[in-house]
Structure 1
Amino acid sequence: MDSSSSRLDNEGEFDDDLTHQDDRQNDMGEKFEKSKDLMTFISDEELNDEEENVVLPVVLKDDEKVEEPKESMTFSSLDEVCSYYRKYAKQAGFGIAQRSSRKKKGIKGYVMLICTRGGAERPKTSDCSKPIPISNKTGCGARICANLCDDGTWFLSKVELMHNHSLSPGKARFFRSNKKISDAAKRRLELNDRAGIRLCKNFNSLVVESGGFENLSFGERDCRNYINKARELNLGKGGAQALCDYFRRMQKQNSGFYYVIDVDDDCRLRNVFWADARSRAAYDFFGDVITFDTTYLTNKYDMPFAPFVGVNHHGQSILLGAGLISREDTDTFVWLFKCWLECMNGQAPKAIMTDQDRAMKNAIAIGAINKCLYDSQTCEEYEENWKDLLEKYNLHDNAWLNGLYMDKTFWVPAYMKDTFWAGMSTTQRSESMNAFFDGYVHSRTTLKEFVDEYDNALRRMVESEARADFDSFNRTIPCISALQLEKQFQVVYTNAKFKEIHEQFVKMMSCNNALLKSEGAISTFEVVEYVAVGDHLIEKTFLVYFNENELEVKCTCAMFEVKGILCRHSLSVLRTKKVTTLPQRYVLDRWRKDIKREYSKVKSSYDAISDNPHAQIHDKVRNNLEELLSLTSLLSHLLAAKMCLVL
């Protein structure tokens, strides 16, 4: 803490000045953890989150009535003093805070409790563009002072009852000093949160049960804060050592398991990265394109989960390494990417997709910008549309848009059409990761448990891929057309990818093409596609270039270049040119089902348990017991049948 914070000076006395929230967080958080459920924050109105928070014990029940404080009133403990004045303040209609205290030989012997409108207001920020509500301090002199007696009891040495502002007993529940979530309410909130019930409904159930908002000693914001804290990913006691032991055990079981642990100067865990042997082997086949973002778990846990995600031959998400990081800054990301590249033998992906800035997403949702981005098939067309956009809305001097324009090659679709993305998008992959971990991670998951559950989820991923492999070889999706082109893909592509080709053949029926020009072996076609929008059709025009000598086709939509799937516009031209067999460059090995990929034979650390002698003995004993129980049950039925016959 700095000199402006409340602190104990050399004489053991607290400064009288009220302190800023940010400077007090560590100190007060420690006090709060020690006090647990017997303590509550004493501060100003709910709207003023930056006001001084002071922890004071709660002893009296909420339904007890108390008399006005008087000098010489005695109490058995300081807790009882604080609880009494808190109850009186709620009854009278004001909030309280601890102003100062003194200690003698390490024992607190004096305390002053004041009205939260006492003292002078201090500005919380110098940035006028980000105003923070203030509590309208009025210099109120209402307070009590309590002293410790030699026999351990406390008495009120000074009492000031007069306030220089109005009081509101009916709204006293909004003061932070009067808020407390009961143990039963906490349990209800956590259970409902685990069940996936949204916070608003979760809170409303408590409102209904209590008979109205006025009967609750907390608000929806308090519930949200509690749930957020309950969701934090805790390292837990001994968690760091358990995590290290886990990684060492995994590496011992399979030398291909890779992990790095980053600690700070005090040897406290800061970041971790790990990748199993199967993920490392799969990177050789699917490491050309990855997505990386920390959106999943970021808002649930203290340490954001940072997965490196690729896509396999079925279009399924596949984990290629993962990290848990302490913060999302440049140094941390540099550390994480270095670890990952070292793990993958320095082989960098050809393309990395990260989550776009949220402000950019909101802007793209605006119709004019959306049209400019996604209706521009070429870079030249985009440049013209962007220029028209700025002129139409007079945005030439908009610094934010100018910044976006400078980075256009990293996010504008027209500039990314020559990059293969394997059909990946950040939104789809993030949603896939959400579904991937659902059922394995909950609000009380510790860091060690998270890594264990990561392995469980990875097993499910491997099983899902194995099932898709089986289906692709044993189930055939029928062709929609009689074209040999479609049959060519049906024979070699996985079912998931053939479905995408199948969809393009269906949409090909909505396309009409016309020859624009022909120069030697190269023909240029205009393809008009009719797209249903609501109750009417709109026309979209694309250009397709076809080289008859090389059997090469290229469309301005660039679907093949980006997704690795031939588009309906190209298929329409190929049909017109009576092409029956495509060159192999259009049948990507990436989507084929008839290629043996060595990574599928690699055993991961989480599979090694089956090779453990103890595990084998356990499985053998269990199987023998099951057979014995089955025989015993059969023998019992036979004896019963025999008895019936005898009778």
Structure 2
Amino acid sequence: MEAEVSENTQSLSSLPQEITSLKDLHFPSEQAAFDYYFEYARLHGFVARRGGSKKSQDGMITKRYFVCHCEGKPAPKESMVAEKSRKRPSRRCQCLASISIGLSITTGKEDWVVQKHVVEHNHPLLTVEEVGHLSANRFIPLESQAMIKIFKKAGICVSDMVRFFKAEKDGAPLTFTAKDIYNFLDKDCLGMDLSLLPRRGDAMEVIKALKDKAEKDPKFFYQFTVDEDGRLEHLMWVHSQARSAARLFADVVLFDTTYKMNRYEMPFGVFVGVNNHGQSILLGACLLRNETIPSFSWVFKNWLSAMGRSPVSILTDQDKSMREAIEVELPETKHAFCMWHIMRKFPHWFAGKLTSRYQDFIQGFYLVLHQDTIQAFEESWSTLIESYGLRDDTHISDLFLLRDYWAPAFLRPYFFAGLSTTQRSESINAFMNGYMGKQTSLVEFVEAFDRAFDSRADASVKATGADKLFPPSTLTSTRIEKKAQEKLTAYSFNLFQKQLVLSNEYIVEGSYIFHYDSPERRWFTRFSADTDDIWCICQEFQFKGILCRHALKALIHHGVMELPDKYLPERSCQQPSIFTQRCSNKQAIEANPVLNLGSEGELWRKTFMSKATCLASSSVAKPELRQQLDQDINRMMEYTMSKSATTVDETTTTEKQTVGVSYLDTSLRNNSVLIDKAESQFGRILDIDNPPVVVTKGRPKGKRQNTSTSERQPRLCRACNKMSLHDSRNCPSKNTS
């Protein structure tokens, strides 16, 4: 057999599978020969790769070998290295299947001829579907890469991306897997591997992105620091809408740094507030190098500068460094500990010591928590500790010393919007799992936070509109309830209405209020007829911002027909929506060529997203829908490219003008400086390295020592309800017949 194969006369995809020998085939180039053999290998169940070669005296390659991917012997592994590396099986089994091509020059034209072809393999061959999963045959087409970037910005998970592409192919095998998408997303938005960019990489990109946000939105606030090695150290940013909301909703703040979903494992701190609809709102974010006093002081100082006001109260965990930083930077703010973080330590502290009495101790502890006054709390605390013999316990002593940080009797005079735990900030952390992951870069992290911020903004706008469309109904005919209905949001009014209805079950006796079923429990109230001031010993209004049932009963008893405005706080009343979509900014849209598509382009974008969502959620895609979607994508890309061409040229010109400008002096690296200061001084952005991977606090992973049975603490088994060394998973009672 003698034939000639050229790149123009025969397509690789038309290669017949029944060909068993390639000997004497001619190719115009070495690459053409390899491409042909690579396609031959794919159809016959293996992967081809380049082997050795022979060169002439002048260094020209005259012979080339293409071999099977199973050629050669497996490389030996040293025992010490094998323990640390992944133990992957080798595919090499000394397979001899190969072809050799030689170069012959006739009439001044290169001609590569297959001189030898060994067909037989000493291993099983794969099917066409199976060989497509090998790494050599996997690739992501350019059009699919563009779609993946769009899906990533929309917060679509990888599994849904795979479902979309499978539906788009209508049963045809994909040339990539979910792992390939993860690897592709591990690169920055420009497709550059960040690990290959130690300087001007991830850190430079995120600072540039924040600078661009500040240029489009003058009220956007950001700040960062770098260490002595030029690496990014701390970073924080606050959206303009969050700064606008500070006047009403930054009086109560939750701050938590337990979230570390980024590739550098930097602690992510988020400031969470509560709006007039009872919803969590994002009031700022930061990424820190460590959780030390200087780091927290830097965060609180800059956040206070952005907000322009000190919060009334702040809720955190029991981190000592955070507590000391708050005392210095927020001296006028009441600091409280999360009660949930305290209670979760009780089983470890007291279950082994109290054994069967542990559950009774917990019930008694909750009764102590609900004492209204400091005196009643301390008396009940002393009685509880004495009855369980915990007077000398170090944990009890530490809790009592810090009682003004967690005991409600000490916190009720301060406004906390009714919060006693950091559950909201932790729920925000769980909410962000849908936007970021452990390999999220800094640029992607900021973009993900923006999407989360917009999601919370949408919820606020929706709740504001719902209050207008569906006003709450009254249950009584009192003017007190009518005025509250007109002023308060539906969320606040429902809380108020509940207290108003329950006030009918209470009886007034002088300055005391008591429930008709429990006359022994009484609440002291103080009313001033001149100013209509009402004060209750439970201090519910001071703590939650909603009048308690006792105060409402006292007001009605003293003939107050209309609720004074001072008991309708502005933060609980209906307000115009502060949180709006960031993209509604006209200047920001005009500055972005991708967003500035005009009415026609916007229609294409909406059509595309609608059809893409339909296609991704459908198990069987219609061919006409896929065809129309392809047309929409092509039209949108053409329109966007034509719009963005001018902007790209302008950007390139600006970048050329900055070449050769001096770097920022290293003496400024330890200071907290803005990019604007650096650019005004040197005409360019700082050179900032990526931060190192942060070593987290606590026991290092993999360093846990085995604990003998005698050293373990007893714990409560949920199966047998006894204090023991087992739990519900291995309880002996389960094995009894």
TM-score bucket of the superposed structures, by smaller chain: 0.5 to 0.7
Shift of 1:300: 9.6
1:565 corresponds to? 546
Residue 566 of structure 2 corresponds to: 585
The corresponding residue for 1:465 is 460
Q: CA deviation at 1:330?
A: 1.9
Alignment of 1:54-133 (within 5 A): 54-55=83-84, 58=87
Which residue is equivalent to 1:79?
Answer: none
**Post-superposition shift, 1:605?**
9.7
2:460 is paired with a residue whose SS is: helix
SS at match of 2:413: coil
- 1:550 pairs, out of 512, 516, 531, with 531
Q: Distance in 1 between matches of 2:271 and 2:285?
A: 6
Is residue 386 from structure 1 mapped to residue 381 from structure 2 by the alignment?
yes
Deviations 1:276-326 (A, max 9, x none): 212112112222221111134479971221111111221221211110112
Structure 1: segments with no counterpart, 5+ residues = 1-37, 44-51, 65-74, 76-181, 184-193, 197-226, 518-523, 531-536, 634-647
What amino acid is the match of 2:397? N
Pair 1:319-2:313 in alignment: no
**Residues 503-522 of structure 1: pairs in structure 2 closer than 5 A:** 503-509=498-504, 511-515=505-509, 517=510
What amino acid does structure 2 have at the position aligned with 1:528? H
Contact 2:496 2:547 in 1 (8 A): yes
Determine the C-alpha separation between the residues in 2 that align with 1:251 and 1:268: 22
**Given the superposition, is the C-alpha separation of residues 59 and 321 from structure 1 closer, same or farther in structure 2, using an over 3 Å criterion?**
closer
Distance 1:628 1:446 in 2: 31
Distance of aligned partners of 1:379 and 1:607 in 2 relative to their CA distance in 1, 3 Å threshold? farther
Q: Does 1:611 align with 2:590?
A: yes
Partner of 1:528: 515
Please state how far the C-alpha of 1:61 moved relative to its aligned partner.
Answer: 6.2
Residue number in structure 2 paired with 1:10: none
AA aligned to 1:251 is: A
Matched, 1:353 2:315: yes
After superposition, give the CA deviation of every residue in 1:137-191 in whole Å (9 maximum; x if it has no partner): xxxxxxxxxxxxxxxxxxxxxxxxxxxxxxxxxxxxxxxxxxxxx99xxxxxxxx
Aligned partner of residue 245 in structure 1, secondary structure: helix
Matches within 5 A, 1:473-488: 473-488=468-483
The verdict on how the C-alpha distance between 1:406 and 1:628 changes in structure 2, with shifts beyond 3 A counting, is closer
CA contact (8 A) 2:457 2:580 kept: no
- In the aligned structure 2, how far is the partner of 1:440 from the partner of 1:59? 32
| Alpha-carbon contact 1:276-1:605 (below 8 Å) kept | no
CA distance in 2, matches of 1:56, 1:462: 46
* Partner of residue 303, structure 1: 266
Deviation larger for 579-588 or 421-430: 421-430
Q: Does the residue aligned with 1:426 lie in a helix, a strand or coil?
A: coil
Aligned sequence identity (%): 29
1:12-27 aligned at under 5 Å gives the runs: none
> For residues 353 and 626 of structure 1, do their structure 2 counterparts lie closer, same or farther at Cα, with a shift above 3 Å needed?
closer
Residue from 249, 255, 262 that aligns with 1:286 = 249
Structure 1's 339 and 53: CA in aligned 2 closer, same or farther, altered over 3 A?
farther
Alignment counterpart, residue 405 of structure 1, candidates 400, 404, 409: 400
Name the structure 1 match of 2:169.
none
> Which residue in 1 is equivalent to 2:411?
416
- Which one-letter code corresponds to 2:598 in the other structure? D
CA distance in 1, matches of 2:519, 2:263: 44
Q: Does 1:256 align with 2:219?
A: yes
Distance in 2, Cα, partners of 1:41 & 1:402: 55
What is the CA distance between 1:41 and its match in structure 2? 11
Report the Cα distance in structure 1 between the residues aligned to 2:586 and 2:293, rounded to whole angstroms: 35
Match of 2:370 in 1: 375
Q: Counterpart in 2 of 1:3?
A: none
SS in 2 for 1:290: strand
**CA-atom RMSD in angstroms:** 4.2
Task: Check the 8 A contact 1:529/1:540 in 2, yes or no.
Answer: no
2:364, 2:77 → 1: CA distance?
50
Displacement of 1:420 after TM fit?
0.8
Superposed CA offset, 1:525-570 (max 9, x none): 232276xxxxxx9985433333333322222222111010011222
Indicate the residue corresponding to 2:601 in structure 1.
622
Cα deviation for residue 600 of structure 1 reads 5.2
The 1:267–1:607 alpha-carbon spacing in structure 2 relative to 1, beyond 3 Å, is farther
Structure 1 equivalent of residue 424 of structure 2 = 429
Q: How does 1:168-179 map to 2 (within 5 A)?
A: none
User: SS of the counterpart of 2:272?
Assistant: strand
With normalisation by structure 1, the TM-score equals: 0.56
Give secondary structure in 2 for the equivalent of 1:471.
helix
User: Cα–Cα, structure 1 residues 241 and 329, in superposed 2: closer, same or farther, change >3 Å?
Assistant: same
| 1:440 maps to 2:435 | yes
| SS of match in other structure, 2:457 | helix
CA shift in 2, pair 1:607/1:440, >3 Å: farther
For residues 627 and 363 of structure 1, what CA distance do their matches in structure 2 show? 51
SS for the counterpart of 2:434 is coil
The equivalent of 1:214 in structure 2 is none
Q: 2:484 aligns with which of 486, 489, 500?
A: 489
Alpha-carbon shift at residue 458 of structure 1 (Å): 1.4
Equivalent residues of 2:234, 2:288 under 8 A apart: yes
Higher relative contact order at CA 8 Å, sep ≥6: structure 1 or structure 2?
2
5+ residue gaps, structure 2: 1-74, 95-133, 136-156, 160-181, 318-336, 348-360, 609-623, 625-737
Give the whole-Å Cα distance in 2 for the aligned partners of 1:613 and 1:579: 58
How far does the alpha carbon of each residue in 1:495-522 deviate from its partner, in whole angstroms, 9 at most, with x for none?
111111122234334x32230x4xxxxx
The total of aligned residue pairs comes to: 411
- Give runs of aligned pairs for residues 33-44 of structure 1, distance below 5 A: none
Residue 568 to residue 626, structure 1, CA distance change in 2 (3 Å)? closer
Measured after TM superposition, the shift of residue 328 of structure 1 is 1.9
Change in 2 beyond 3 A, CA 1:561/1:444: same
Residue 40 (structure 1) shift? 9.7
Residue pair 1:376, 1:382 contacting (<8 A) in 2 also? yes
* Distance in 2 separating the partners of 1:554 and 1:628: 59
Provide the rounded CA distance (Å) in 2 between the counterparts of 1:392 and 1:41: 63
Per-residue CA shift, 1:428-453, capped at 9, x if unaligned?
31244135424322344322111111
Question: Structure 1 residue 256: deviation in Å?
Answer: 1.5
Distance 1:56 1:454, change over 3 A: closer
- Counterpart pick for 1:499 among 490, 494, 516: 494
